[in-house]
A and B are shown apart, each in its own frame.
Chain A
């Protein structure tokens, strides 16, 4: 872990990433100009609803897009190398020791006919050049670290013999097996019960803290992101519309979409008379609306929103928004606060 990056320095840089998917209805611009930096040891949350392009962004970083999707432009720079340009053989050397991924559904990500121990040991054997016995030892140690009880015996179990939570622990052990600098998480707790989710989130937070690993954490669940991440990026219709620290973005949203998300979810600590849904539905990404993509659903929208394509811009040192009239969100929050 000696060559771990210095905190405060970007270790992953995604620059103007664009992903298109060819469908029968036309070309879907699933990711449309996403830029993102992740510092060493930092956890960044990527939040959005289904179809916002958050999972596609994650898959594009690792180069595991579905066959019908292609990266049309942009760079993914990890430690000085552009992953988009890298040939497959080179990419395979990076997957594992540099970047690992944790998927939502561990049952479909794990090999069902292979015992879990060898699955965890595979990475260290291939990437770290360990022999079988050493790799097996490491697998047992990893299983212990992720909280799988009785690891020596469970080493020889198959994935189907594990519960959902334990399978996700196996996934985490595999992700950690080659000591990566960056772990990509695609909704890792969505399929789990709230008690198990709590265990997994605490485990992930602890492991990343201990080994100074960076995280990109994709979820649709705002409270979940608040448990793991310090930084938050909100995605809508293939673009990042707001960025900042989690606490700041959730308590002081500067984009009407984020404001909508915060208000439409019931909050367990503050019961409101009724929830405020976001009107309308997300736009088609084949023909996205001109100007700001959120304007057809936005109550603050003005003439200029329908024409100007707003870029993500800094509004203070740690905060950026893509809304032309973000002050109105703050005004609305202020008047609401006065009512309370």
Chain B
């Protein structure tokens, strides 16, 4: 499965050109009435994604990590064309994708969802589902639909009998294989996987992670993986982007980020991962408190309410994503690349909760 039309246009094979280049993407949702919101001192517009730039190189695996509510799924949906952004520009192969994508453009970015139980049509057999897709998008000539379907199922490690089976007849892991086959059927250039293994048992997780790894090698697939599991991310991805309240606050190569995280949030996130050996000595948690509601994003740096090193400047100035030395590694913190990092504050109470402003 090579990407079609890749050789005809010289512009598209330019190796310097990133596969995906998204600029200033913003997505917001309007909730309820403006008057009620004002009475509650809230905004009635929820800024799920707030001016995010993202570049994905051809063939790489980029991870998007962050807490729930950080906007990672919304960003993925916006890139996939499932959610129209309010602002921003998405370029694929240097070509700007319009708000209404043509069928050919839709094919290029495909998505795999978290829950394989609800993302497959229960009334269609696997064969029926794939045939419909292949006919509508005219991926292969009519006569080859059957053989291409078998090829796809083989690719994701399912037997040919799967063609006649309904989703309910499969286990969770097998369903996720069907979902991956469906996404790959359209020969996408970018596969977006939103928490593809979180609903699965550990031993089944491994088979899906190995499959994704093999597919990357075999099809030189570009992957955007959304996950809250940093062990999975480290295993599978070349680069990591960390999101917090709708912004990317740090991005860098996986090993650089694990070895020397610059943003205090990334540092906390990495420290919070439970390890196989006992690490939770001491009662102070890695990151204090709950993330603020996206309806009440703090002014200045958005992390300052939970940040152990927050200074007066953090309430006034919103730090931009900047790098120093290594251009591939950037962080949005006033003290990310300075030698004079303020000493961490001790949490007021040992349980580590901070009063939420309401």
Interface residues of A (CB under 8 A from B): 49-50, 145-150, 163, 165-166, 169, 193-199, 201-203, 205-206, 220-224, 226-228, 246-247, 250-251, 260-269, 271-272, 274-278, 281
Contacts and interface: CB of A to CB of B under 8 A. Distances in A.
Contact of A221 (B209, B272, B274): B274
Interface string B193-204: 000000001111
Interface stretch (B79-87, B229-237, B316-324): B229-237
A194 B353 contact: no
A221 B229 CA distance: 12
Interface in B53-79: 67-68
A265 B354 CA distance: 33
B338 to A, nearest CB: 25
Given A266-B235, A277-B210, A198 B286 contact: yes
Which 4 A/B pairs are nearest by Cβ-Cβ distance? A147-B351, A264-B206, A223-B274, A198-B272
- Chain A interface, >50% SS class: helix
Given A261-B203, A276-B206, A277-B207, A195 B285 contact: yes
30 contacts: A50-B201, A147-B352, A149-B353, A149-B356, A163-B290, A193-B68, A193-B228, A194-B273, A195-B67, A195-B269, A196-B290, A197-B274, A198-B274, A198-B280, A199-B285, A206-B350, A220-B201, A221-B274, A223-B274, A223-B275, A226-B274, A227-B279, A227-B280, A266-B231, A268-B231, A268-B273, A269-B275, A269-B276, A271-B235, A277-B204
Given A264-B206, A266-B234, A227 B278 contact: yes
Interface in B156-196: 171
Contacts of B269: 194-195
A247 B203 contact: no
B231 A194 contact: no
A261 B202 contact: yes
B287 interface: yes
B268 interface: yes
A197 B356 CA distance: 18
Contacts, number: 143
A260 B171 CA distance: 19
Given A261-B202, A261-B203, A275-B206, A194 B290 contact: no
B287 A266 contact: no
Contact of A195 (B204, B206, B231, B286): B286
Contact of B272 (A195, A203, A276): A195
B339 to A, nearest CB: 27
Contacts of A203: 283, 351
Contacts of A146: 351
A271 B271 CA distance: 17
A146 to B, nearest CB: 7
Q: In the complex, which of the residues B201, B230, B355 has the most CB atoms of chain A within 10 Å of its own CB atom?
A: B201
B235 A275 contact: yes
Interface string B45-58: 00000000000000
Q: In the complex, which of the residues B203, B204, B235 has the most CB atoms of chain A within 10 Å of its own CB atom?
A: B203
A206 B290 CA distance: 20
B28 interface: no
B349 interface: yes
Contacts of B171: 281
Contacts of B355: 149-150
A265 B276 CA distance: 10
Contacts of B205: 264-265
Given A146-B351, A147-B349, A226-B277, A264 B285 contact: no
Contacts of B213: 274
A105 to B, nearest CB: 14
A25 to B, nearest CB: 15
A149 B354 contact: yes
Contact of B276 (A147, A150, A250, A271): A250
Contacts of A223: 273-276
Interface in B207-252: 207, 209-210, 213, 228-232, 234-235
Contacts of B351: 145-147, 199, 203
Contacts of A226: 274-278
Contacts of B287: 195, 198-199
A202 B280 contact: yes
B228 A194 contact: yes
A262 B276 CA distance: 9
A148 B210 contact: no
A194 B229 CA distance: 8
Contacts of B202: 49, 220-222, 261, 264-265
Contact of A49 (B201, B286, B290, B353): B201
Q: In the complex, which of the residues A149, A206, A251 has the most CB atoms of chain B within 10 Å of its own CB atom?
A: A149
A193 B66 CA distance: 9
A194 B70 CA distance: 13
Given A149-B353, A194-B230, A265-B231, A224 B206 contact: no
A203 B289 CA distance: 13
A203 B350 CA distance: 9
Contacts of A222: 202, 276
Nearest to A205: B280
A304 B161 CA distance: 34
A246 B275 CA distance: 12
Contacts of A281: 171
Given A194-B228, A206-B283, A268 B277 contact: no
A195 B288 CA distance: 8
A195 B352 CA distance: 11
